[in-house]
Amino acid sequence: MTATLTPQFIKAREDFANWYDNKPEEIQELIDEIADRTSFIIDEDEYDEFIEVLSDYGITTAEQFEDRFRGEWEGYGEDIYAKFAEEWCDDTGLNADVPDLFVHAIDYGQVYYQSLQYDFNDVDFRGNRYFFYNY
């Protein structure tokens, strides 16, 4: 069975291609980097709005985005800070030598607020939270 593409889907893809092609090359590279590293930003309006938000944090190029982007999390409640801190501690190896007994007792929300919040910008965008190194 062969799937056929709907006319609406084809039009949406053509509209996206036209929108993309009308952007300067530097913005196209930024869009590509955002597309490669995020999951929740998917249409032209979202890209335009997200790029505008990023500029408020001094991120205007693909290289800056690649260098400073740390991750995205679905939602934006207080628990996101804890999830971010736990993943950051795992990724950086800080949890490697800590026995499981203690790792499971760590309040990662406190780790974020005491040790990480000054090193990162967190951006709420369309129901999700994005973290960027703050330098």
Reported as a single tens digit per residue, the pLDDT across 92-124 is 999 888 898 898 899 999 999 999 999 999 999
Give percent of the chain above pLDDT 90. 82
Bridge partners of 132, per DSSP, are: 69, 121
Structure tokens at 48: 């335009």
Angle CA 32–64–86, to nearest 5: 95
pLDDT score of 132 = 98
Residue spans of the domains in the chain: they are: 9-133
71-81 tens-digit pLDDT: 999 998 889 99
